[in-house]
Amino acid sequence: MPDLITLLKARVKNDADTDYLGYKVCPKCESTDLNNNPFVDADYEAGDGGELVASPIIIPMVTCESCGWSKRIDEHDLLD
Ligand SMILES: [Zn+2]
């Protein structure tokens, strides 16, 4: 049976290594001018008084400065 702690550490290390979601060049124009800008979304929940309270969700996203290509990790990928 695999050591769960070892698996967890490997997973964390992999995540840290994919600052650009694993992309080294733009798949569309092959530029290396990639930008690592997180996409900030908001999650809304009802507060105590019934008002909507927003909490930020930060989604890793990489964009190409040359052609505008972008790729973000969807929420279901984060939960994977
Ligand atoms: Zn590009």
pLDDT per residue as tens digits for the range 13-32: 444 445 677 888 899 999 99
Q: Name which of 17, 35, 37 is nearest 26 in CA terms.
A: 35
Q: Which range marks the domain in which residue 19 is found?
A: 4-78
Say if pTM beats, i.e. exceeds, 0.75.
no
What is Dmax (Cα atoms) for the chain? 51
CA–centroid distance, 2 to ligand 1, in Å, is: 40
As a whole number, mean pLDDT of residues 50-74 equals 89
Structural domain total, the chain: 1
pLDDT attached to residue 64: 94
Q: How far is the CA of 58 from the centre of ligand 1 (A)?
A: 23
Distance 24 CA to ligand 1 centre (A): 11
pLDDT score recorded for residue 16: 46
